[in-house]
Amino acid sequence: MRRSLPDGFSAAIMAAESVENAAVLLHGPGGCRVRHMVYSEAVYSRKNSPRIEYAEDYFYWYPRVPATYLDGYDFINGAYYKTAEALPMVDASGADLIVIINSPGAGLIGDDHGSAVNRLGLGDKTIILDESLSSMPAPECYGGMLRRIMEHLSPERKTVIKGSVNLLGLSLFDKDREDAREELQGMVESMGLTVISCPGAGASIADLRKSVLAEYNIIVCPEFCSGLREYYESLGIPSVRSPAGAPAGFDACEAWIKTISEKTGCDPSPALEIIKKERKKAYEKLRGQGYRAMRIKGLTFSAAGLSSVIRPLTLWLHGYLSMAPRAVSPDPGSDPEETELLRDFLEKQGFSGVFGKEPVPCDAVLCEGLTANRMKSAGECRIEISIGYTGFRTDNVIPRPVYGILGSRYILDELLRGAKDV
Amino acid sequence: MFQIAVYGKGGIGKSTLSANISYSLSLKNKKVMQIGCDPKHDSTRLLLGGRAQTTVLDYVRETPVLRRKLEDVIEIGSGGVLCAESGGPEPGIGCAGRGILTTFDTLKKLGADSYDTDIRVYDVLGDVVCGGFAVPLREEYADAVILVTSGEFMSMYAANNIMKGLANFDTGKPRLLGLILNSRGVENEEESVKRFADAAGVPVIAAIPRDSSFRAAEAAGKTVRELFPDSDLSVAIDSVADLIIKTSEGKQPLYDPRPLDDDQMTDLAAGRPVRPGSPEKIRDPCSGCGRRRSIKGTRIMDSCAAFGAMAAFMKLTDWTVLLHGPESCMYLMEMSRGGMSRSLYPESAGGTAAALKVCCTMMDDSASIFGGTGKLKEKLEELCEEGCGKIAVVTTCMPGIIGDHSADAIEHIRKKYPGAELALIESDGDIAGDYTDGFRMAVREITGMIDPSVRPERRYVNLVGISFFDLQSPGCMAELDRILSVFGLKINCRFLDDCPSGDIRMFCRAETDLLLSGSPSDLSIMGMISERTGRKPFPCPLPIGMKDYGKWLEAMGKFAGMEEEAAREWKNAEEKYDLYVRNNRKVFEGKKIIIIDRLKRSCVWAAELLADLGAEIVRIGCFSRCGEPGMTCPERFGGVTVENYSPKMLEDDLESLDPDLLICDLLFRTGKKCRTARIGRSGVGPGGVLRFADYVGNVLRLPATEGWKEDGE
């Protein structure tokens, strides 16, 4: 059975919600609002919520993702007047940028938000997203939404701050995003670069405006910045993208650092030294675990996710831990180049029937938490490793992202812990 | 770039005129693009030698996003006119209006705006039936509008409707260039159109006679303007083109029409002088319905009926739920419902995993335009082939709005797979109502699974309720089991908690049905069961709080013929309660407490418990929402109970009453620091009551706020 994943509609909402001081006005029913409002608060909590000032009927205790609360009548008669009524309330809540997004149902009735926006004089701070994003790949719409925001802000690239970069491709959908960002930023900065912003991962409007002054954009996950990357390139900011894909697993982390060094000319050794130390520590731990570590070799795994993430992970699990793939499935919206490289790799290693298969019963499942958890509950795997879209309440105090050294350690931990049961 | 929309009733000849006008404009050295916005997609045919071009919507349906190119949907026609056709679904399915929206969006994304054009002509189906067909009227598109009409009443009626649409997109500046009379040869045609135009306050900018040249040009796949350049028709067409150019240069006035009301249209049809109208009445699309045009007049709901229906069927561990809708609905519903289910039940329960067999038809933009019934059939077949024998289809907003005939798909599958058990819940997202409405719709279907012929067996009981949340912690379940064991009772079916559908079928094996609460929701579920089985519920719902427990024991003692056991249990419970109150009174004595109830759970039991423990209940505040009735409170707390409680009242109470504790069901920050406790899960019987007392007692002795909160201030 196919996994359920967020689609372009949810991605656009989350991308807009990732911008501090931006607010999504959802033109849609309360039902569409409620889960997005809880989700956005869960993955990117803001200081102002939930707050007693929002306890009135309109916000219903939650400031996030306010809506026009369409009902059955509105789908027949249209409800453009509700946009006009909601906009001043959202504006009064202090949002610096408002993004109006239609729910899948509202997209069918064609309400004209433009006239309400113009009549209220909010054109400068409002973006209207009219297109239907239902069942479209989430990454494409996430990056696309960010691009729309940048185009709306339209900051001028007056100068270039030498040695400065943006990190692109982290998103609110990434589990333990903040920890991943901190670690990757730390490694990049250890090489003498300065990170200006991480668009899509909690950047403020000021950060986004400043982001056009960066000398380079460093790509973490290419899928989640598609569209946005091209926007920056059109301004003359080159993208630095690792041929090994996203920095997931020790090997891809090293490749990521080396690529940054090659393109920017900075010294990679401080960052590589950090990874080397961690590799050494991991070696000691694995050796110390003795019999349990031995059990990892030959374990089977299913992996599903974006190609730029599951390709380096598959290579790493295969090469570093000697695990055998049973099903490897790229998510919709995966980078085509990464997808082909992944297919080639599996073919060359003799795992030809594995590519494109949704997760199957095996020892370890690496995919978004919902499916991994469901498979474990159903006894279809012993080890669940959540690497994709994060759920409502899945952030950890001890960081367990998929990226960076933290991600490598997290995966090793889960495998070691689970190996005793296999 | 100047944009003009040509509207008119279907079949009135607007496409023919649009193509002629575009060609004429091109002869006047204007770079023109014509976009046909009619599902019948014949707007540009006469500019392309009689050939139909690929429509944008067909292209979008067949071509992956990354492979789409603008040149695939734009062709160059006569006079260099750039041509595009929207296309649309087959009649009777899908949503053509959404198709127009998608066409505009696609052209924009593919870069149509980058073409160097002076004038863009939109040729739009004028029977404006939904917002989609009105898109070209939006401010960002049409700078001017031309209406094509004949002297036939229905044609003028359509033109009048478009004027109303134009009024709904009021940009503050006039946009109607005028009417073109495209003659159909009806009696007094010119006069009728003139009367209509005068009443609406707009000019007739051209009168195109009925002429066989149109047919000849049609046969040649060309415009009249191209084939018969010296004809009178070409002169008339050129005059319209000239007007458009003048308008684009700001040299021609535009008009703000006064659409006719029903009485005026009747006058027009009858050939009488048209009486004066009332524009305000016409401009209000809600006139006559009595509905308040406001968000505040809307029933604000937590979750939609589709989620409620899906949640209900997800409780049947051997059923698969197929959500007919977009993927985001599926993801978020599964994440919240599935996540909760997994967190409430231990992994070893096993059964819950089966209950989480949920999938989705993944309706996308293409399905919303061309209809989603085909996708539904495909997915159902796929599930049947996979061996899913019991499938519930739940519909979201999208199929509801576009009018998908989901029942057709179900019938098709029933014939093809005769053994399959199928249910269809047409919740249509929020169209059928909120979560509870959808849940009830599904429950009605599920009650149909009950076999009324099953004979009752001694000592079996059913639990009936819409939410088993309060019973799902191990502590609460253990206490319930203990209470039932006093009477030797066993649970037959938890309706509707996670269970196999076999339990539902055997529902009537129980001697009686215990309601989880006396709430309207639980009573309505029991009502549906009663309709199916004729059963009546046990007179007392499961007891929360000591008073209810006493009543329940008495009733159950009588029912089970075990009055002595009931009396013994009550005596034990009372002694235990009294002892607890005596031993713990010092913790609560004199403490001022506010209880607020946002989720409409009755909190009277908690107030009574805390008052028994010596606390002073200084306020019971009930937030009302959606017009639901507030809770009822006994006299003991009458003086402190406030219905329709508001956040502002709470702020004031916190200030004036200075409570030691605020008990609520939501964690939030208030302006004034105050110790808070949650009501949480209300367990049944004395165990539940005393567990809550323990918790509150601890909170009263703990620091006012948790230390970690200080780090975020």
Q: Do A105 and B667 touch (CB under 8 A)?
A: no
Question: Does A106 fall in a domain?
Answer: yes
The verdict on whether B14 is a catalytic residue reads yes
Question: Closest Cα partner for B285 from B131, B124, B126?
Answer: B131
Question: Do B464 and B441 belong to one domain?
Answer: no
Q: How far apart are CA A244 and CA A367, in angstroms?
A: 19
Q: How far apart are CA B120 and CA A160, in angstroms?
A: 40
Contact B2, B247 (CB under 8 A): yes
Whether ipTM > 0.95 holds is no
Of the residues B42, B72, B118, B127, only one is catalytic, namely B127
Whether omega for the bond prior to residue B514 falls within 30 degrees of 0, making it cis, is no
CB atoms near residue A346 (< 10 Å)? 21
The verdict on whether B600 is a catalytic residue reads no
> Is the model's pLDDT at B287 over the cut of 50?
no
Q: What is the rounded average pLDDT of the residues B227-252?
A: 95
Q: How far apart are CA A402 and CA A399, in angstroms?
A: 10
Q: How far apart are CA B319 and CA B356, in angstroms?
A: 9
Q: Do A111 and B332 touch (CB under 8 A)?
A: no
Contact B614, B590 (CB under 8 A): yes
CA A164 to chain B, closest CA, distance in angstroms equals 30
Q: How far apart are CA A333 and CA B617, in angstroms?
A: 57
Q: Which residues of A touch B321 (CB under 8 A)?
A: none
For residue A344, what is the domain's CATH number?
A: 3.40.50.1980
pLDDT band at B37 (very low <50, low <70, confident <90, very high): very high
**Chosen domain end from A221, A237, A268:** A268
Cβ-Cβ pairs closer than 8 A, A with B, add up to 257
The pair phi, psi for residue B425, each rounded to 5°, is -115, 105
Question: Does B292 fall in a domain?
Answer: no
Question: Residue B136 carries which DSSP code?
Answer: G
Query: How confident is the model at residue B284, as a pLDDT?
Result: 46
Question: Do B519 and B641 belong to one domain?
Answer: no
Q: Do A134 and B327 touch (CB under 8 A)?
A: yes
Question: Do B381 and B412 belong to one domain?
Answer: yes
The verdict on whether B536 is a catalytic residue reads no
Question: Does A352 fall in a domain?
Answer: yes
Task: Return the biggest CA–CA distance within chain A.
Answer: 71
Q: What is the rounded average pLDDT of the residues B386-414?
A: 93
Question: Do B278 and B311 belong to one domain?
Answer: no
Question: Do B136 and B109 belong to one domain?
Answer: yes
Question: Do A18 and A89 belong to one domain?
Answer: yes
Q: Do B105 and A130 touch (CB under 8 A)?
A: yes
Question: Does A206 fall in a domain?
Answer: yes
**Residue B115 burial (10 A CB sphere; 0-12, 13-18, 19+):** middle
Question: Does B236 fall in a domain?
Answer: yes
Question: Do A182 and A123 belong to one domain?
Answer: no
Q: Do A132 and B303 touch (CB under 8 A)?
A: no
Question: Closest Cα partner for B678 from B695, B690, B655?
Answer: B695
**Chosen domain end from B415, B447, B479:** B447
Q: Which residues of B touch A75 (CB under 8 A)?
A: 397, 400-401, 431
pLDDT band at B638 (very low <50, low <70, confident <90, very high): confident
The pair phi, psi for residue B9, each rounded to 5°, is -60, 150
Contact A221, A169 (CB under 8 A): yes
Q: Do A336 and B66 touch (CB under 8 A)?
A: yes
Q: Give the one of B140, B359, B647 whose C-beta lies nearest to A55's C-beta.
A: B647
Question: Do B427 and B334 belong to one domain?
Answer: yes
Question: Does B296 fall in a domain?
Answer: no
Question: Do A128 and A27 belong to one domain?
Answer: yes
For residue B483, what is the domain's CATH number?
A: 3.40.50.1980
pLDDT band at B711 (very low <50, low <70, confident <90, very high): confident
Q: Which of B328, B357, B382, B649 to mutate to test the interface with A (most CBs of A within 10 A)?
A: B328
Q: Give the one of B100, B328, B358 whose C-beta lies nearest to A7's C-beta.
A: B328
Mean pLDDT of chain B: 88
Q: Which residues of A touch B293 (CB under 8 A)?
A: 81
Question: Do A288 and A362 belong to one domain?
Answer: yes
**Residue B86 burial (10 A CB sphere; 0-12, 13-18, 19+):** buried
Question: Do B652 and B703 belong to one domain?
Answer: yes
Question: Do B19 and B141 belong to one domain?
Answer: yes
Of the residues B40, B194, B576, B592, only one is catalytic, namely B40
CA A105 to chain B, closest CA, distance in angstroms equals 5
Q: Do A58 and B295 touch (CB under 8 A)?
A: yes
For residue B272, what is the domain's CATH number?
A: 3.40.50.300
CB atoms near residue A91 (< 10 Å)? 18
- Written as six digits, the tokens of A111 are 């309400």
Query: How confident is the model at residue B671, as a pLDDT?
Result: 56
- Written as six digits, the tokens of B162 are 């478009």
**Chosen domain end from B447, B468, B498:** B447
Q: Which residues of A touch B138 (CB under 8 A)?
A: 112, 114-115
Question: Do B114 and B217 belong to one domain?
Answer: yes
Query: How confident is the model at residue B603, as a pLDDT?
Result: 82
Which pLDDT tens digits describe chain A residue by residue (422 residues)?
Answer: 678 899 999 999 999 999 999 999 999 988 888 889 888 888 888 765 545 555 555 666 678 888 998 887 788 778 888 899 899 988 988 899 999 999 998 988 888 898 899 989 999 999 999 888 988 999 999 999 999 999 999 999 999 999 999 999 999 999 999 999 999 999 999 999 999 999 999 999 999 999 999 999 999 999 999 999 999 999 999 999 999 999 999 999 999 999 999 999 999 999 999 999 999 999 999 998 888 888 999 999 999 999 999 999 999 999 999 999 999 999 999 999 999 999 999 999 999 899 999 999 999 999 998 888 888 888 899 999 999 888 766 668 999 999 999 999 999 999 999 987 66
CA B578 to chain A, closest CA, distance in angstroms equals 38
Question: Do B201 and B241 belong to one domain?
Answer: yes
Q: What's the number of domains chain A is made of?
A: 3
Q: Give the one of A1, A132, A377 whose C-beta lies nearest to B365's C-beta.
A: A132
Question: Do A167 and A205 belong to one domain?
Answer: yes
Q: Do A30 and B667 touch (CB under 8 A)?
A: no
Q: Which of B337, B384, B397 to mutate to test the interface with A (most CBs of A within 10 A)?
A: B397
Task: Report the alpha-carbon angle A67-A69-A70, nearest 5.
Answer: 125
**Chosen domain end from B426, B447, B468:** B447
Residues B539-571: pLDDT tens digits?
999 998 999 999 999 999 999 999 999 999 999
Q: Which residues of B touch A373 (CB under 8 A)?
A: 342
Q: Which of A3, A5, A7 to mutate to test the interface with B (most CBs of B within 10 A)?
A: A7
CB atoms near residue A282 (< 10 Å)? 18
Question: Do A287 and A254 belong to one domain?
Answer: no
Query: How confident is the model at residue A291, as a pLDDT?
Result: 83
> Is the model's pLDDT at B626 over the cut of 60?
no
> Is the model's pLDDT at B350 over the cut of 50?
no
Question: Do B337 and B383 belong to one domain?
Answer: yes
Q: Do B668 and A52 touch (CB under 8 A)?
A: yes
Q: Do B398 and A104 touch (CB under 8 A)?
A: yes
Domain that holds residue B207: 2-283
Secondary element (H or E) of residue A203 = none
3-state per-residue secondary structure call for B479-538: HHHHHHHHCCCEEEEEECCCECHHHHHCHHHCCEEEECCCCHHHHHHHHHHHHHHCCCCC
Domain that holds residue A39: 8-136
Q: Give the residue on A whose Cα is nearest the Cα of B339.
A: A370
- Written as six digits, the tokens of A192 are 């003498």
Question: Do A391 and A351 belong to one domain?
Answer: yes
CA A163 to chain B, closest CA, distance in angstroms equals 33
User: In Å, what is the CA distance from B237 to each residue of B152, B208, B667?
Assistant: 21, 8, 70
CA A257 to chain B, closest CA, distance in angstroms equals 30
Q: What's the number of domains chain B is made of?
A: 4
Strand A194-197 relative to strand A239-240, pairing: unpaired
Q: Give the residue on B whose Cα is nearest the Cα of A118.
A: B171
Question: Do A240 and A123 belong to one domain?
Answer: no
Question: Do A82 and A25 belong to one domain?
Answer: yes
Q: Do A104 and B396 touch (CB under 8 A)?
A: yes
pTM score: 0.85
Q: What percentage of chain B exceeds 90 in pLDDT?
A: 63
**Chosen domain end from A102, A136, A170:** A136
Q: Which of A2, A4, A337 to mutate to test the interface with B (most CBs of B within 10 A)?
A: A4
Residue B158 pairs in a beta bridge with none
Question: Do A282 and A410 belong to one domain?
Answer: yes
Question: Does A263 fall in a domain?
Answer: yes
Question: Do A113 and A222 belong to one domain?
Answer: no
Q: Give the residue on A whose Cα is nearest the Cα of B351.
A: A378
Query: How confident is the model at residue B349, as a pLDDT?
Result: 42
The verdict on whether B28 is a catalytic residue reads no
CA A255 to chain B, closest CA, distance in angstroms equals 28
Q: Which residues of B touch A115 (CB under 8 A)?
A: 138-139, 169-171
Question: Do B154 and B176 belong to one domain?
Answer: yes
CA A99 to chain B, closest CA, distance in angstroms equals 17
Q: What percentage of chain B exceeds 70 in pLDDT?
A: 90
Question: Do A204 and A288 belong to one domain?
Answer: no
Query: How confident is the model at residue B144, as a pLDDT?
Result: 95
Query: How confident is the model at residue A31, as a pLDDT?
Result: 85
Q: Give the residue on A whose Cα is nearest the Cα of B360.
A: A4
